Amino acid sequence: MGLLIKNGTIISAVDEFVGDILVENEKIKEVGVNLSEEGHEVVDATGKFVFPGGVDEHVHMGPFNSYSFETSHAAVVGGTTTIVDFAPQFEGMGLIESKDKHNKERAEGISTADYSFHTMVMDTDDKLLEEIPLMAENGLATVKLLMAYNGTPYHANDELIFRTMQIARDHGITVMLHCENGDMIVELENQLFEKGNKLPINWSYSRPALVEDEATRRAIYLAELADCPTFIVHVTTEGAMNHIKEAQERGLSVYGETCTHYLILDESYLNTPDIEGAKYVCAPALRPKPHQEALWKAVRDNDLIAVSSDHAAYRGGFAAKSLFEFPNIPPGAPGMQDRLAMLWSQGVEKGRISRQRFVEIFATSPAKMVGLYPQKGLISPGADADIVIYDPEYRGIITHADSYEGTDYSTYEGFERIGIAEKVYLRGKLMAERGKLVGDKGNGRYIKAKPYGLTYQNFKKEVKDKVLQ
Ligand code: MN
């Protein structure tokens, strides 16, 4: 017996039509019109939208003292069926071994969402370069390096980034970069701190837009010289976005994402007379309002290809975060549960993006970037039956009372939500209904990523061969 979802308006990244979806053995078996009901469990989706479960390609489960995979059902309840976490490199351990350890300790048998991993460099040992050719066979297609966080294991200098790029591009590995100039941040932080500034708004003053613009530009130079497909994570400024656009117009394989909170929230959330703004301390910082419409336009026009949550929910929530003062407030904002609600309510319903574009940035392009497509991110025969049935008539308000993220606040508290994920299926299993978890926890599956993802779609090796002969 299969599951037959009838008469929904099925939305893909390119079209929509009223039709039926037949699910059998965790997969989509057939998509069509007037499919036979005989022998199947029928779910009537008349008047509802039906689209692929979300793929959140940028979440943090575990490091930074954040809640781990035990809260991944928050994503599922919100309509995101696959999350891609950054597996931090453990001290003295390689990228692949670190991923295995991280998976064993934090994800396996615990995650409710299906999941995959990016590697994250936290060590400058050359041995990591030798591992890059082995990544693909170990289910890894992405390596992240951070230009910020000087003086911590997270920081990678330009030399390491460049050398990583030179090797990665020969193996279909996408280099992901956090672009902020770490030297600028350290100096500004010190100057502000020495003057006695302790409030959350100083987080923003110490890492203004130019810090990101500069690093993004530099990252593009490095990518061009190494001739390596590159993905810039959490683009938050008009300047950085323009650098990426200009690079693409010159034919470079440089792509970027932004995150929900940079589209919705602005710098004023940090600017409170007390520590309340600590809730919104994240890196890069929330930006002054004019950047937001520029980012929406970039999302609409495919200058940015995905919107992730950059979910990082600090253990203990605001109660724990509020014990710190600038510059030591732990960064990170929860958001994997509300990504769909916010993109739909603020994007689709406000006419900033089409429904097709919504599906593309929410599920399809993220899956392609990571190397999970076409298993994830689309509704088509053979794909995993990760399906959202969306009731567009629902009206409500985002509130922490509905949150499964483990913290004591919601990043989007008080925002209107238009529509709700009426049913969320993960590989054909009903997991959530109208904001409530109804499925079992801990059955999320590890999905291995494949190399040569979206960033390689127009890539031709040229420059390196010219320079290094
Ligand atoms: Mn992040």
Ranges of each domain in the chain: 51-380+447-466
Instruction: Report pLDDT for 460.
Output: 83
Mean pLDDT of 137-148: 98
* Phi, psi for residue 229 in degrees, rounded to 5: -55, 130
- Ligand 1 centre to CA of 381 (Å) is 33
Please, what is the angle between helix 209-226 and helix 158-168, to 10°?
Answer: 40
- 466 pLDDT above the threshold of 60: no
For the whole prediction, is pTM greater than 0.85? yes
74-124, pLDDT tens digit by residue?
A: 999 999 999 999 999 998 899 999 999 999 999 999 999 999 999 999 887
- Ligand 1 centre to CA of 469 (Å) is 37
Instruction: Report pLDDT for 285.
Output: 98
Locate 401 and state its tokens.
């009372």
Identify residue 370 by its one-letter amino acid code: V
- Ligand 1 centre to CA of 21 (Å) is 35
Looking at residue 197, the DSSP 8-state letter turns out to be -
Q: How confident is the model at residue 225 (pLDDT cuts 50, 70, 90)?
A: very high
Alpha helices by DSSP H, 332-413:
339-342, 355-359, 365-370
Mean pLDDT of 344-351: 98
- Compute the mean pLDDT over every residue in the chain, rounded to the nearest whole number: 96
- Ligand 1 centre to CA of 175 (Å) is 14
Instruction: Report pLDDT for 191.
Output: 98
- Ligand 1 centre to CA of 256 (Å) is 13
Instruction: Report pLDDT for 99.
Output: 97
- Ligand 1 centre to CA of 466 (Å) is 35
Q: How confident is the model at residue 265 (pLDDT cuts 50, 70, 90)?
A: very high
- Ligand 1 centre to CA of 142 (Å) is 14
- Ligand 1 centre to CA of 308 (Å) is 9
- Ligand 1 centre to CA of 145 (Å) is 11
- Ligand 1 centre to CA of 164 (Å) is 19
Nearest to 284 by CA among 215, 190, 344: 215
Whether the Cβ atoms of residue 2 and residue 24 lie closer than 8 Å to each other:
yes
- Ligand 1 centre to CA of 49 (Å) is 30
Distance of alpha carbon 448 from alpha carbon 264, whole angstroms: 32
Mean pLDDT of 305-328: 97
- Ligand 1 centre to CA of 310 (Å) is 5
Instruction: Report pLDDT for 10.
Output: 98
Q: How confident is the model at residue 65 (pLDDT cuts 50, 70, 90)?
A: confident
| CATH architecture group of domain 51-380+447-466 | Alpha-Beta Barrel (3.20)
* Phi, psi for residue 307 in degrees, rounded to 5: -125, 115
Q: How confident is the model at residue 468 (pLDDT cuts 50, 70, 90)?
A: low
- Ligand 1 centre to CA of 235 (Å) is 11
170-189, pLDDT tens digit by residue?
A: 999 999 999 999 999 999 99
- Ligand 1 centre to CA of 50 (Å) is 29
Instruction: Report pLDDT for 117.
Output: 98
- Ligand 1 centre to CA of 31 (Å) is 36
Instruction: Report pLDDT for 189.
Output: 97
- Ligand 1 centre to CA of 384 (Å) is 26
- 12 pLDDT above the threshold of 80: yes
Nearest to 85 by CA among 54, 110, 117, 56: 117
CA 232, 233, 239, 244: dihedral to nearest 10 degrees?
30
287-298, pLDDT tens digit by residue?
A: 999 999 999 999
Instruction: Report pLDDT for 462.
Output: 66
First to last CA, the chain: 61
